[in-house]
Structure 1
Amino acid sequence: MFRSLRERNYRYYASGQIVSLTGTWMQRAAQDWLVLELSGGSPAALGVAVALQFIPTLLLTLWAGVVADRFDKRRVLIGTQIALGACGLVLGLLDVTGVAVLWHVYVLCFVLGCFAAVDAPVRQSFVVEMVGPAQLTNAVALNSMTFNLARIVGPAIAGLLITAIGTGWVFLINGVSSAAVVLGLVLMDVTALHRAERAPKERGQLRAGLRYVLGRPDLMVVMVLVFFVSTFGMNFENTFAVMARNVFGRDADGYGLLITMLAVGTLTGAALAARRSGRGGPRMRLLLVGAAVFGALEAGASLMPSYELFAAALIPVGIAVMTFTTTANATVQLAVEPTMRGRVMGLYMLLFLGGKPLGGLASGWLAELLGPRWPILLGGLMSLVAAVVGAGALFFQRRGLRTRSRLG
């Protein structure tokens, strides 16, 4: 189950990630709280802060993929992690000294979003260099386990620390936690990395990456499916808050329990993916089935009549969505040319994260117009339909290839 940890370089990386991701989730919780404090409890101000962190994803992620293919990924990650840590330290110092105002938070949200947009595709495409193609699926699953464990632990710790010592110290702790990842990257044995040949410096590299994906029907199916599932099916934070408050009459603790139940499912799904990775590489069938099952389970969860049944239904939903996301990530990375991996993962991360503002607006509009259950129901159905359409597209494409081969 933990085979990729046999690689010393990956052990250094994973150890640092546990510390750093916990700090990241602590900062997210503290940042939301600080924005509400500085704005007098304004939900609109909180929405602005979230948007400012997402906008750089739309602007920079594709170009970050070019950076990943052109330059030493380990050195780029050292730079981005130092910068991300510095953002936490600056915000923490502003807060603990009592001079922080709302525009300070907005500026730092945007700056942090810029570095995070560069970091994401580089980090994703660096995993295979640490563990090699044979252990990639296992490493992706372990990364997901770490992420979801931090998502459970980080906000819980932040809640206690905010009450005890204030938000500023939480930001400072997160800034220091980035040093764990930097230390792991510095200590790596660079001779043991499974490095691919770097892409040469030439004009039109971004366009070349997009043409490469457009010329691969299998990659196109994965990318389109990732966009639909992440944009319309995975708007959990927005929809769960409305469900908890407006449908089931629960307070903030009721909303928190829904997020926790989903996290239990995603953590379980990541563990199952890590165990399953020993049976071979990712399969397109598992990807399509994972998306279809997720869509069906999410649609079913939206119809649950009670809070308890809805919360319990989120565990299998989490397992299914993690099966889909880990399989999609590994499928894309193993299916591409090594010199294209950074650019393809840049597009992958753009589609995975960039549609969330659109999905958030759509879910809010649907909830306002039709009721809180509808965004979850329609998001699940759209994910299911996208999986069926993707399966049909691959079927006809492969049948066409077999027909041409017989005629040829």
Structure 2
Amino acid sequence: MSSPSTSPTAERFPNGPFTRYMVGEGISMTGTWMQGMALGWVMTEVVVRDGLQNYEGLLQAAPHLASGLVMLALFRFGGACADRHDKRFILQVCQIAQIGFALAIGQLIAHGSLHTWHLIVAAALLGVSSSFEMPAAAAIVPELVAKENVAKAISVDRAVFHATRLVGPAAAGYLVGRYGAEWAFYLNAASFLALMGALATLPRRPQGTVEEEQKRQGGAGEGFRHVRQDKPSLAMVALLATNTLFVFPVIIVLLPLYAKNDLHATPEQMGLLMLCSGLGSVSGSLLIMALRPSLRRIAILIGMVLACGALVSLSQSHELIWAGVSLVCLAVGVSTLVGLANTIVQERSPAELRGRVSAVAGLSFFGFLPFAAIIMGVMTDLFELRNVLLGSSICYAIIGFIVMLTVGSKVTGEQEQETSVN
């Protein structure tokens, strides 16, 4: 392990540790996006092979439900561990576990032995790993830079995350169509090694004051308390939850069904649609990096309008190009809103609570996504997918704008304008 590092206050941005971590994360996330696209496509085939096509929408959401319920049960513990223990070690253990999952599913696909229940069980096991990985990954980025560079670091982290969506899904579409879906899983397993190598080079976090170190040992409920008392953070978590309920299931759960059944797309074309989504997400992340804090509220509102309009457009689309442009707009809106929300939450979080606050912010995604995915899946089985897209847009607009009307005036991200309540 590296020896304790000095405070990064005087360091330029980006510094060496942050750059190495971003490179490793970029390679790893490319593999993760490859696997995600391949998994959605494989599920559409496995469900038919198992004779369960009448429940295709529900079963497409089932892995997300299994993973999300596990994370919902463990996220408090994962957030507390991220504050109390070495985040590098937590992340390395999680990478090893995910390598095992990817290799196992790849082997089942290669031998023609994969069934629906395999994917659901694997998703539940992956949820255990993600319960610890997500809070640690969210909390480690601000520790690698000076305090005044936290917003920039989070924006770069989000940009890298979304930029990999430009490469991963398109590469997966090519691999699935030419060599078989198992290769997306094998290459994802290999990609984790890059992040593990980067983590091994990172310094320990600087030692805090006695009071800060004592607070790190506090209960998981401290994260909830901070978010509840800090109005801008609470508003951002509410908006993240609204996105999870009405928008994320479209991108994560329904897109493979939409591409295959409504657009009659090939695996390669499915990869191109996800590439369009990634392009929009990168654009949104880059916009955030250049955005002044005083413009954050209007940027969030514009993001909501873009997302709502894109959902309506997708509900009417019958052409691949039309759907691709709509996905770009949807991703720009969602990326802007989610990126700003996470930035504001991290900026306003005390360092000693960052892991637990990250877990609360993550709950707005993983806590709601299982139920949102199942509801969307059932609605898709009962009604046409296009009607579900239109309904999602209406619900998202109503609830999202109500949140902004009630608490949006306090959302600037500038702590000097509103003192956080301790």
Q: TM-score range by the shorter chain?
A: 0.7 to 0.9
Residues 351-402 of structure 1, C-alpha deviations (whole Å, 9 max, x = no match):
123322322333345455564333333323333333432333237889xxxx
Q: Which of 267, 272, 275 does residue 282 from structure 2 map onto?
A: 267
* Structure 1 residue identity aligned to 2:63: A
- Check 1:340–1:315 CA distance in 2 against 1; reply closer, same or farther (3 A cut): same
- Check 1:313–1:172 CA distance in 2 against 1; reply closer, same or farther (3 A cut): closer
- Name the CA distance, whole Å, in 1 between partners of 2:381 and 2:118: 32
2:310 paired residue number = 298
Matched, 1:62 2:62: no
Scaled by the length of structure 1, the TM-score of the pair is 0.81
1:184 paired residue number = 198
Aligned residues of 2:303 and 2:337 also touching (Cα < 8 A): yes
- Name the CA distance, whole Å, in 1 between partners of 2:17 and 2:59: 41
- Check 1:156–1:338 CA distance in 2 against 1; reply closer, same or farther (3 A cut): same
1:28 paired residue number = 36
Aligned residues of 1:235 and 1:360 also touching (Cα < 8 A): yes
- Check 1:263–1:106 CA distance in 2 against 1; reply closer, same or farther (3 A cut): same
Residues 1-20 of structure 1 aligned to structure 2 (within 5 Å): 6-20=14-28
Q: Which of 83, 94, 104 does residue 80 from structure 1 map onto?
A: 94
Q: Which of 331, 344, 351 does residue 318 from structure 1 map onto?
A: 331
Write out the 4+ residue segments of structure 1 that deviate beyond 6 Å after TM superposition.
97-101, 395-398
- Check 1:263–1:176 CA distance in 2 against 1; reply closer, same or farther (3 A cut): closer
- Name the CA distance, whole Å, in 2 between partners of 1:136 and 1:93: 41
Secondary structure at the residue paired with 2:144?
helix
Aligned residues of 2:170 and 2:274 also touching (Cα < 8 A): no
Matched, 1:129 2:165: no
Aligned residues of 1:229 and 1:382 also touching (Cα < 8 A): no
RMSD between aligned alpha carbons? Answer: 3.4
1:109 paired residue number = 123
- Check 1:221–1:100 CA distance in 2 against 1; reply closer, same or farther (3 A cut): closer
- Name the CA distance, whole Å, in 2 between partners of 1:287 and 1:194: 37
Scaled by the length of structure 2, the TM-score of the pair is 0.79
Q: Which of 60, 66, 72 does residue 52 from structure 1 map onto?
A: 66
CA shift for structure 1 position 95: 5.6
1:285 paired residue number = 297
Aligned residues of 1:4 and 1:10 also touching (Cα < 8 A): no
- Name the CA distance, whole Å, in 2 between partners of 1:129 and 1:8: 13
Determine what percentage of the aligned residue pairs are the same residue: 23
1:406 paired residue number = none
* Structure 1 residue identity aligned to 2:250: F
- Name the CA distance, whole Å, in 2 between partners of 1:324 and 1:340: 23
- Check 1:218–1:319 CA distance in 2 against 1; reply closer, same or farther (3 A cut): same
- Name the CA distance, whole Å, in 2 between partners of 1:282 and 1:72: 35
- Check 1:34–1:293 CA distance in 2 against 1; reply closer, same or farther (3 A cut): closer
Aligned residues of 2:26 and 2:164 also touching (Cα < 8 A): yes
Q: How many residues align?
A: 390
- Deviating more after overlay: 249-258 vs 124-133: 249-258
Residues 236-385 of structure 1 aligned to structure 2 (within 5 Å): 236-237=250-251, 238-241=253-256, 243-244=258-259, 250-252=264-266, 256-274=271-289, 276=290, 279=292, 281=293, 285-286=297-298, 288-298=300-310, 300-302=312-314, 304=316, 307=319, 308-367=321-380, 371-385=384-398
* Structure 1 residue identity aligned to 2:99: G
Aligned residues of 2:242 and 2:400 also touching (Cα < 8 A): no
- Deviating more after overlay: 180-189 vs 314-323: 314-323
1:119 paired residue number = 133
- Check 1:381–1:95 CA distance in 2 against 1; reply closer, same or farther (3 A cut): closer
CA shift for structure 1 position 37: 5.9
- Name the CA distance, whole Å, in 2 between partners of 1:105 and 1:367: 20
Matched, 1:390 2:398: no
1:154 paired residue number = 168
CA shift for structure 1 position 120: 0.7
- Name the CA distance, whole Å, in 2 between partners of 1:31 and 1:185: 27
Q: Show structure 2 runs of 5+ residues with no match.
A: 1-10, 412-422
CA shift for structure 1 position 21: 1.1
